[in-house]
Structure formats: structure tokens, C-alpha cells
Structure 1
Amino acid sequence: MFCKLQDKTKLTIDAYNKNFSGYTDKFMNYSPYAMHVIEFAGLLEDDFKVLDIGCGPGNVAKQLCAVKRLKITGIDLSSEMLEIARVNVPDGIFHLQDSRKASFSSEYFDAVVLSFSIVHLDDDEANEVLANAVKWLRSGGYLYLSFMEGKQPGFETTSFSSQPLYFNYFQETKIEEFLKENGIDRFRSIRQDYSELDGSNTTDVFLFGKKR
């Protein structure tokens, strides 16, 4: 299947909508990722307002809410994922919304989460979404960001989808530099291997930051 770059978002969301069950089964309680979410939750306080950008089926939101009583707002472009998120986090507010077009009040949220959501954006789009995320985060608020290193951007099949999705890969040093320039101080960095279907390894990166 030949995938045009300009169709990357539509093709990726179509794949998620058709394979939401497989994704949910794998990542709802995927311990190598959940352990970092739980650690991040320990930084938060009850009643914090949290924005989950690219919330998927609410896996991260549910894990956060298992630790603290939080006010969750989630956005995603997959309608099927959002239906599951509303079940997993019934007190959350979830919107069918493109992260590149989202608009929230400045310094409104106490924490912003981007769990493997920028990986479906090109470099310029990712920078724009990250800059907005910082703008929506209050001074002293916390940022959780995860992404991958290791390959060239392009369309790939996955363990949960035989339909291709667009993936982009980033460099930790460049992301940290961008965040610092936009007012975020990174205070925690975790790197771990993720085994791909072909036997290769991709490096997953998890960053915790605080807005100055």
C-alpha cells in the first residue's frame, strides 16, 4: 500500500479506529509504560487539572487517576478510542479534537501529558503542539512526554495493526533543547528498549519537566 505523506493523519486515524481493540488490549495495562505514568502521578496533587493530548483509550488517564483524584481533559482524533476512554475514566472530559488545532486557556492546566502522541506528527507539527502544551500549562506545572528514537519517519505496521500508521522519531537532545527554550526544565529522563516485530529495538524516551 502506497501512503502519501499528506494523507498521514487520515490513514493513521483510520488504522486506530479499525484496530482500537488490539491497541487497548496491549497498552491499557502495559507495565513498561505504566510504571512511568505512576511515577509521574506521584508528583501531582488531588484535584489537579490534567490535559491528556492524544489520550487514546484513556490508558494513561486511568493510570493517573488510580494514584490521585484528578480532573482529566483528554483530546484525540480517534472516535473509537474516545468511546473507550469515556468508559475507563467516567469522570473525565473527552473531546474529538486535532491536537494541532486545539485551543485552551493559557496557564490553565496543572499538568499536561503527551504519551506517544507527537510520534504521529512531523517535526514542525510536533514543535507547534509542544509549544501550545507549554502555553496551556501553568507556571510550576508538570509535563509528561514520551516518544521514540531510532528510525527514519514513515509508515509502519505494528503489533496491533496490519494497516500502516505514520510514525516520526525524535532526538532526546533536540526535544530537551526545544522544551528549555519554551520554559520547561527537564528533571527526569528515562530511556528503554522496545522490541519491534522484526527483532530490532527502538528506544523509547520518557521525559518529566516543570514549567518555570
Structure 2
Amino acid sequence: MEAHWLDRFIGLMPRQPAVLDIGCGSGEPMSRYLVERGCAVTGIDSSPEMIALCKGALPCQSWRVADMRSLSLSVRFDGLLAWDSFFHLCPEDQRKMFPIFRDHASPRAALMFTSGPSHGVAIGEFEGEPLYHASLDVDEYRTLLDENGFAVVAHVVEDEACGRHTIWLAQFI
């Protein structure tokens, strides 16, 4: 269901781009889709278990255990992806992520992330455990993107064709 958005993301980058998957989880399906389309993926996740799954499934890519909130790789990427990961941070930590996105973005880099549909906090459930979600409001995301050099390319709230994800696609200018 994410293919349409991933294709738009890939379309903003040069051929054979370097992509940073922020909060990559197991690497499925997002990183795999990117790799199958010629992207070189560096994935970070705070879970050693998730990174181990990535290394097993996609061993030719770069996988690192890291906390996105303190990420400083000293490398710039053609694309930055934070799909179903970024919104698990509290609002203050989300605000602090935008300079991190900027610091890891090559000129004209694509940035794609998911958020909630509006400002607020929600507690969901995953495998019987509570799962925290937070979102800033639309205007604040737009301001943070702009202040950090990103122009919004597309934004859809609760995209029916993509599992009701709220998606942001931007480009570093």
C-alpha cells in the first residue's frame, strides 16, 4: 500500500540514491522496496532485535543501532525516510528532529515521514502492549520544515489508499 508514496519519494532523488531509513524497524517492507529499486539504504533503529532482522534480510545494506533523537552520522543522504517511526516521539522530541533531518540531507534530498492527522497524543496497541503516538499540528510541521530548508512537495491527511496514513513529502532546497 505504500508503493505509490515510495515511488514519489524515489522520483525526487538521483539514480541509485543513498537513503537513511530512520526508525527502520525490521526493514520490511519499506527498506526492502527501496533496495529493490536501486537505493543504498542505511537504516537506524533503537532496537538491536530489529537491526538483527534487517541484517539477516538485507545483509548488503548498512544497519545501525541508534536513537534517532541523537543521530549524528556525519553523512548526508539523498533521501530521509521516517515512516511509522517519527510519530512515536513526544512533541518536543519531534521538534528537535528537524535540524537532524537537515544535517543529514544532501542538496535536493527528499524527506518523507508520517504523522498524526492533527495535534494530539494517542495511545494505540501493538501485540497487546500500549504504543504511544504524538503529532504536532499541520502549521507547526510546515513551519519546522520551512525553517530547516525543506519545501513541502505533498501532504495528505489520512490517505485512504495508504492505510489512512498522514504523509508528508518534502525536498531540501
Contact 1:131 / 1:182 at 8 angstroms: preserved in 2?
A: yes
SS of the residue 2:115 aligns to? strand
Q: 2:120·2:136 contact (CA, 8 Å) conserved in 1?
A: no
Unaligned runs of 5+ in 2: none
**Match 1:121 to one of 89, 101, 121:** 89
Q: Which of the two has greater strand per residue? A: 2
TM-score, normalization: structure 1? 0.72
Amino acid at match of 1:47: Q
Count of aligned pairs: 170
Q: CA deviation at 1:171?
A: 2.1
- Larger Rg belongs to: 1
Identity of matched residues, %: 23
User: CA–CA distance in 2 between the matches of 1:78 and 1:35?
Assistant: 28
- TM-score scaled by structure 2? 0.87
The question of 1:88 aligning with 2:57 is answered yes
Tell whether 2:150 aligns with 1:180.
no
Q: Report the counterpart of residue 131 of structure 2 in structure 1.
A: 165
Residues 148-163 of structure 1 correspond to what in structure 2 (within 5 A)? Answer: 148-150=116-118, 152-158=120-126, 161-163=127-129
User: Partners of 2:35 and 2:9 in 1: how far apart?
Assistant: 11
Query: Is the contact between residue 117 and residue 158 of structure 2 (CA under 8 Å) also seen in structure 1?
Result: no
2:155 alignment partner, SS class: strand
Residue 111 of structure 1, CA deviation = 1.2
Counterpart residue number, 1:38: 7
| Poorly superposed stretches of 4+, deviation over 4 Å | none
Go from structure 1 to structure 2 and tell me whether the alpha carbon gap of 1:172 and 1:121 turns closer, same or farther (over 3 Å shift): same
Other-structure match for 2:168: 207
